[in-house]
Structure 1
Amino acid sequence: MTSPDPGLALAVLCGVVGLLIGSFLNVVVHRVPRGESVVHPRSACPGCGHAIRGRDNVPVLSWLLLRGRCRDCGARISRRYPAVELGTGLLFAGVAVVVGPSWALPAYLYLAAIAVALALIDVDVHRLPDAIVLPSYPVALVLLGAASLLGADGAAFLRALAGAGALFGLYAVLWFVRPGGMGLGDVKLAGVLGLYLGWWGWDALAVGGFLAFVLGGLVSLPLLLSGRAGRRTAIPFGPSMLAAALAALVVAAPLSGWYLALVGLGPTA
């Protein structure tokens, strides 16, 4: 009899946690832009005002059992709610696979959680709230610092600090040179992402920083060509930054290896 794969078990566990976090993120995405508390009052149906029962708040499953409608008044419940829950669960599972059973896992799960919340808020209201971005600095410093200390890798923490300074500085210069092309919220978020990318490695910092502009262009170009956006239309850049940072954790190493081999600096066979 084969023993269970610990990596798979960790991914499943993180996926389940992600489903629960996703349910909370739905509240965050709705309330934080409005300046409301994410704790009180309890979530309620916007149609009839009835507080949502515990059994009707099970991620994804409750929406399916209720067929996407309120138990009390029959009002439709947006498909976005289970989509966020399921998406967060899958993202948490993916992060667990990439990071593995290391002391850094809690830090990168936190990054995944704020990535979902900030991306959706930026799409909705074209804003990256300080209420999420600014506290992420001390949280990331504590979690990554603990990972460096427990993993006896002080160089990673120093690299994280350098990464934060480098990415924040780059975005600050771009914002100063062309204020209309980038929001101040993007500059603040850049420092947070620099911490995570720098801790992961110099290649992740370079790839994540560059990839954000590639993804931003891929999003903006079709909108401009189709006439759905103009040169003065504000297109949220936060989702591209966040997606690039998470993608860099996976693609940075192979991309940097490919590039070094291309220029003749990689290992020879």
Structure 2
Amino acid sequence: MPVKPRETSPTSRGVRVSAALAVVPLLRLAVVRHAVPVGSPWRAGCAGCAAPIGLDRPWPALSPVARCGRCGTRVGAPPGVVEAAVVAAVAAVILIGAPPLPTVALLWWLGWVVPATLVDLAVHRLPDRLTYPAAAGTWTLLGLAAVTGAGAAPWLRATAAGLVLALSFAATTLLLGRRGFGLGDAKLALGVGLLLGWYGWSALVVGMLLAFGFSALVSLALLAARRATWSTHLPFGPHLTLATLTTLLLLPH
């Protein structure tokens, strides 16, 4: 019999959202640094005045206005986008209501994947510096959940699912080249497989069906609006991220 999610008080939910918003400057900084074309060095300063990027002046907390504190040049994700993504991610985690350690694993994954997804939307790349820590920390935290009571079976299944999904995505790159998924998608898929595989192979299948379904809907909408052609390459990372959260929301915990 499925265990119902534990109810949380409005105060507890408010604390979680406030804590998440406290890390927004770090997430915005990650987007600013990594949202550069493939082959370019990571961004170290403002494109307008070369002011160094950091959490201190002239980038006071990398505020939601998304402008350099010295010259006013627009930088990073558009205003409010990171904040909205964080609030939506935390709301999803609260609604999922998983046990404590799997919840921590999901929060860890989202902490890296939210900026990675925004980078993918901006420049069509998923940096290793974001996808590798996301998967490694998720695997470790799920392993801790296994040791402290969940048992080895879900962790071993999650490990296998992550590897199978990542290798499947990487195989399309080797076989199809530019027509396949990028290696960044494969590295993101490693964490996706871990999170969904923890709950079963059926969760992984549902997640992939949703990801491809979301991708198809967006592609058709862009084609209808004449914002893309049949040969346009669209980032797949956002669909993977959204499909993962949607699948977890649909599962009993």
2:224 alignment partner in structure 1: 225
Unmatched runs of 5 consecutive residues or more in structure 2: 1-6, 36-40, 46-51
**How big is the shift at 1:195?**
0.7
1:13 alignment partner in structure 2: 15
For residues 114-153 of structure 1, the aligned pairs below 5 Å read 114-153=112-151
1:26 alignment partner in structure 2: 28
2:54 alignment partner in structure 1: 42
Structure with greater Cα Rg: 1
SS of residue paired to 1:18: helix
Does the aligned pair in 1 maintain the 2:157–2:200 contact within 8 Å?
yes
Name the aligned partner's letter for residue 11 of structure 1. R
Does the aligned pair in 2 maintain the 1:18–1:90 contact within 8 Å?
no
Name the aligned partner's letter for residue 91 of structure 1. A
Unmatched runs of 5 consecutive residues or more in structure 1: 45-49, 255-269
Distance 1:101 1:200 in 2: 12
Name the aligned partner's letter for residue 42 of structure 2. G
In the superposition, the TM-score normalised over structure 1's length comes to 0.75
Q: CA RMSD in A?
A: 3.0
Does the aligned pair in 1 maintain the 2:158–2:193 contact within 8 Å?
yes
Question: For residues 7 and 201 of structure 1, do their structure 2 counterparts lie closer, same or farther at Cα, with a shift above 3 Å needed?
Answer: farther
Would you tell me which structure has more helix in proportion to its own residues?
A: 1
Q: Which of 73, 77, 83 is the aligned partner of 1:85?
A: 83
Give a deviation string over 1:41-69, Cα, whole Å, max 9, x none.
5247xxxxx5244xxx4976xx6xxxx88
For residues 1-269 of structure 1, the aligned pairs below 5 Å read 6-33=8-35, 34-36=41-43, 41-43=53-55, 51-53=58-60, 57=61, 80-100=78-98, 102-181=100-179, 182-252=181-251
Give a deviation string over 1:200-255, Cα, whole Å, max 9, x none.
3323211111211111111112222333222332211111111111111012459x
Does the aligned pair in 2 maintain the 1:23–1:85 contact within 8 Å?
no
Does the aligned pair in 2 maintain the 1:215–1:240 contact within 8 Å?
yes
**How big is the shift at 1:114?**
2.4
